[in-house]
């Protein structure tokens, strides 16, 4: 089912319904500021299990944690270096994944199978997701929509492949195929693990 939300002021009533279903174990597909992503409540065992099955990936494969702001993200990671914190504050929300050391509050439902005690955190520049995260009680566990060795960026194709298997697909149109830039902030410095969208904003690294 494709859901149409206002691109500037997403309807709170619909977002409230989505939030409730996520808490019950639902899975949705949302457009981000990069590609489309499958999302589940990070504290929902049922939702996270569905996410792994939909993506057909091993439970050892890392997922991302979507947060609405730095304050929320800080609840799940060890203290950042001053350099990393200043950078995160400057470029978020945006198309960046920050690999950080996780703390004891990391949602074990979502990340108990990961060998490394690191986590990829995103604060996406997406009005749909940011509006949802304002009302939803937990961060979202996320993974990009990928089918038959390619990213799916057309909402109609996503509907064909996933429409009957997810609780809803938020229409963001056809997105550009741009992946997030991945930044490793686990040490004192910052290193680029993958160059992607937004590189011009961190050209001084």
pTM of whole model > 0.85? yes
pLDDT, averaged across the chain = 91
Contact 70, 92 (CB under 8 A): yes
Over the stretch 25-50, which tens digit does the pLDDT of each residue have?
999 999 999 999 999 999 999 999 99
Task: Identify the CATH number of the domain in which residue 160 sits.
Answer: 3.90.870.10
Tokens of 22: 């996520």
Taking alpha carbons only, the member of 91, 95, 119, 120 closest to residue 32 is: 95
125: helix, strand or coil: coil
What residues make up the domain containing 7? 2-202
Q: Give the residue from 131, 121, 160, 167 showing the smallest Cα distance to 23.
A: 167
Q: Identify the pLDDT of residue 110.
A: 73
**CA-wise closest residue to 38 among 64, 71, 3, 8:** 64
Region of poorest pLDDT, from 57-66, 138-147, 156-165: 57-66
Q: Tell me, what's the pLDDT at 150?
A: 83
Question: What's the pLDDT band for 69 if we cut at 50, 70, 90?
Answer: very high
The reply to whether omega before 93 is within 30° of 0 (cis) is yes
Q: Say how far apart CA 120 and CA 203 lie, in whole Å.
A: 21
Q: Is the pLDDT of residue 172 over 70?
A: yes
pLDDT for position 114 = 63
For 81-90, how does the pLDDT look when each residue is reduced to its tens digit (9 = 90+)?
Answer: 999 999 999 9
For 32-49, letters b (16+ CB in 10 Å) and e give: bbbbbbbbbbbbbeebbe
Number of domains in the chain: 1
Has residue 203 got a pLDDT over 80? no
Output the pLDDT for position 205: 65
Across 43-47, 103-107, 111-115, least confident range: 111-115
Per-residue confidence band for 58, with pLDDT thresholds at 50, 70 and 90: confident
């Amino acid at each position: 089912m494709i859901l149409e939300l206002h691109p500037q002021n997403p309807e709170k009533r619909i977002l409230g319904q989505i939030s409730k279903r996520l808490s019950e174990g639902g899975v949705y597909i949302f457009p981000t500021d990069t590609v489309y992503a499958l999302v589940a409540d990070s504290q929902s065992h049922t939702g996270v299990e569905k996410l792994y099955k939909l993506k057909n990936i091993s439970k050892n494969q890392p997922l991302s944690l979507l947060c609405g702001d730095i304050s929320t993200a800080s609840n799940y990671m060890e203290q950042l270096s001053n350099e990393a914190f200043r950078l995160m504050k400057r470029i978020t929300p945006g198309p960046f994944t920050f690999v950080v050391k996780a703390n004891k509050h990391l949602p074990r439902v979502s990340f108990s199978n990961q060998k490394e005690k690191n986590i990829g955190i995103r604060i996406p520049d997406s009005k749909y997701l940011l509006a949802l995260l304002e009302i939803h009680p937990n961060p979202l566990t996320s993974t990009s929509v990928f089918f038959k060795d390619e990213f799916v960026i057309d909402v109609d194709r996503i509907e064909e492949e996933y429409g009957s298997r997810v609780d809803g697909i938020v229409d963001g149109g056809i997105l550009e195929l741009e992946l997030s830039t991945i930044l490793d902030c686990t040490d004192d410095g910052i290193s680029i693990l993958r160059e992607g969208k937004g590189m011009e904003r961190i050209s001084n690294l």
